[in-house]
Amino acid sequence: MQFIPIAIVGASGYSGAELISILLGHPNARIVGLFGSGKSEKAGGAAPNLADSFPRFRGLLDLPIAASEPEAIKATGARAVFLCTPHEASMELAPALVERGLVVLDLSAAFRLKDAGAYDAFYGFAHTQRGLLERAVYGMPELFRERIANAALVAVPGCYPTSAILPLAPLANAGAIRPGTRPIIDATSGASGAGRKAEQRLLFAEVSQQAYGVLKHRHQPEIDAYAGVRTVFTPHLGPYERGILATIHVELAQRWTGERARGVLTQIYAASRFVRLCPPGVWPAVNDVRGTNFCDIALASDDAAGHLVICSAIDNLTKGAAGQAVQCMNIRFGLDEATGLLAKGAGA
C-alpha cells in the first residue's frame, strides 16, 4: 500500500484540526509533522502538543506543534504539506517548500487569484510571488481535476466560493445566464468560518444572524473569476458552528428554463462523487452535509419570468476547506479522490 507522509502547518486552527481528523482515518496517509502558523510558535521554545489545543486527539496523535521552518518541514520526510496558515504566511512558505520538492496544498487565499494587484485591494498586502501565482492550480476537483493531478502547488478554494462556483460555473459556461445580469448570492456561514479567534461577535452569547463584508468581501473576486460571471455576493454569519447555505438568484437567458438548467448540472456532475443534485422539491440543509465532503444543490424556477433560484449547502470545514484539500491530495497522488472522505460524519 502506498503511504503518503504528510506535514500540516497551522495544525492548531479549525481547518488544521479538521485535516487531522480526516487524515487519521485515511488508509494512505501518515502524518509525520505538525507545525504552527507562525503567529505564536517560536523556534527554540518548547513546542506545545496537539492535545493542548485539541484534547480529542490525546492518544491518537501525540505530536508537538513545532515552529514552521521550511527545513524542519522537509526534514520530516513529508511528500505533501498542507498550509492552514494566514495568507501572507502561505505566500512566504509555499515557494520554499515547492523548491524543496514538496507538493503544497494551500488552504489560504495566497495563490487563488491570478491578478497580483487584487491582493492589495482585497487582502491588504502586496503579493511578491507573481511567478508562483501563475503556476498555482485552483483546487476545485470538479472543474480542474486534470490540472490538479500534476500540480506542485494547489490553491484550495475558499468555503463561500465553493458553495457558489459549483452551481454557477456550469450554467455560466453553458450560456444560461442572461447577458448583462449579475447572479445574486446570499450565503450564511457558521461561526467556525471566521477561524479560531477571540472576537466579540463570535462569542457564544453574542453570535447572531448578521450580514458583513457587504459589497467588499475578499471572496468576491474569487467567485467571479471561477464562476465565469460577475456576481453580487453578500456573506452572513449564522448562529451555528459549521456549514454554509447559499441562496443564489439567476436571471435566465432566452430559451432557458429550470428544467434545462437542471439538465446541465446533472450532466456536468454525473461523474462527480461529491456533488449531489437534490430531487425536485427537496432543499439542502447544513445538517445534511455536516462533517461530509458533499455539496448539495437544489433549484427551482419561474420560467415565465426567467428567474432561477438555486440553493447549495456545504460544510465549510470539509468541502469548504480540509475535505476538499484531501480530495485534491488524492488526485495529485493517483488515488481514488474519495479515499478517506466517505466515512459517515467524518470530522463532525
Asked if residue 314 has pLDDT above 80, the reply is: yes
Beta bridge partners of 153: 104
Both 136 and 200 in one domain: the answer is no
| Domain membership flag for residue 344 | no
The percent of residues in the chain predicted with pLDDT above 90, rounded, is 82
Residue whose C-alpha cell is 501572507: 88
Residue range 283-296: mean pLDDT, rounded: 97
Asked if residue 44 has pLDDT above 90, the reply is: no
Looking only at the bridges linking them, the beta strands covering 4-9 and 244-251 are: unpaired
What confidence category does residue 134 fall into, taking pLDDT thresholds of 50, 70 and 90? very high
| Domain membership flag for residue 346 | no
Both 145 and 260 in one domain: the answer is no
User: Cα separation of 278 and 295, whole Å?
Assistant: 10
Residue range 303-307: mean pLDDT, rounded: 98
Both 90 and 174 in one domain: the answer is no
Both 20 and 60 in one domain: the answer is yes
Residue range 28-55: mean pLDDT, rounded: 78
Asked if residue 112 has pLDDT above 50, the reply is: yes
Lowest-confidence segment of 113-117, 138-142, 144-148, 171-175 by average pLDDT? 113-117
- DSSP line for 250-294: EEBPTT--HHHHHHHHHHHTTT-TTEEEPPTT----HHHHTTS--
Both 182 and 300 in one domain: the answer is yes
What is the pLDDT at residue 9? 97
pLDDT, tens digit, for every residue of 81-94?
A: 999 999 999 999 99
How many angstroms separate the Cα of 76 from the Cα of each of 14, 39, 83? 23, 21, 15
What confidence category does residue 70 fall into, taking pLDDT thresholds of 50, 70 and 90? very high
Asked if residue 140 has pLDDT above 90, the reply is: yes
How many angstroms separate the Cα of 155 from the Cα of each of 54, 83, 90, 110, 288? 26, 10, 10, 8, 27
User: Cα separation of 102 and 123, whole Å?
Assistant: 26
What is the pLDDT at residue 42? 52
What is the pLDDT at residue 348? 44
pLDDT, tens digit, for every residue of 228-259?
A: 999 999 999 998 889 999 999 999 999 999 99
Q: What is the extent of the structural domain holding 290?
A: 159-314
Residues annotated catalytic, as ranges: 159
Both 132 and 215 in one domain: the answer is no
Residue range 93-98: mean pLDDT, rounded: 97
What is the pLDDT at residue 192? 81
What is the pLDDT at residue 38? 65
Would you tell me the crossing angle of helices 159-174 and 141-148 to the nearest 10 degrees?
90
Q: What angle do CA 255, 260, 261 make, to 5 degrees?
A: 105
What is the pLDDT at residue 53? 85
What is the pLDDT at residue 241? 86
| Domain membership flag for residue 217 | yes
Both 327 and 290 in one domain: the answer is no
How many angstroms separate the Cα of 139 from the Cα of each of 79, 123, 145, 259? 18, 20, 8, 29
Both 219 and 142 in one domain: the answer is no
Say what the alpha-carbon torsion angle 74, 75, 77, 79 is, to the nearest 10 degrees.
Answer: 0
Both 144 and 175 in one domain: the answer is no
Both 125 and 224 in one domain: the answer is no
User: Cα separation of 299 and 164, whole Å?
Assistant: 13
pLDDT, tens digit, for every residue of 192-228?
A: 876 666 676 666 667 788 999 898 889 999 999 999 9
What is the pLDDT at residue 29? 97
Both 91 and 197 in one domain: the answer is no
What is the pLDDT at residue 247? 98
What is the pLDDT at residue 346? 45
How far is C-alpha 139 from the chain's CA centre?
8
Q: For residue 23, give the CATH number of its domain.
A: 3.40.50.720
Asked if residue 347 has pLDDT above 50, the reply is: no
Q: How many domains does the chain have?
A: 2
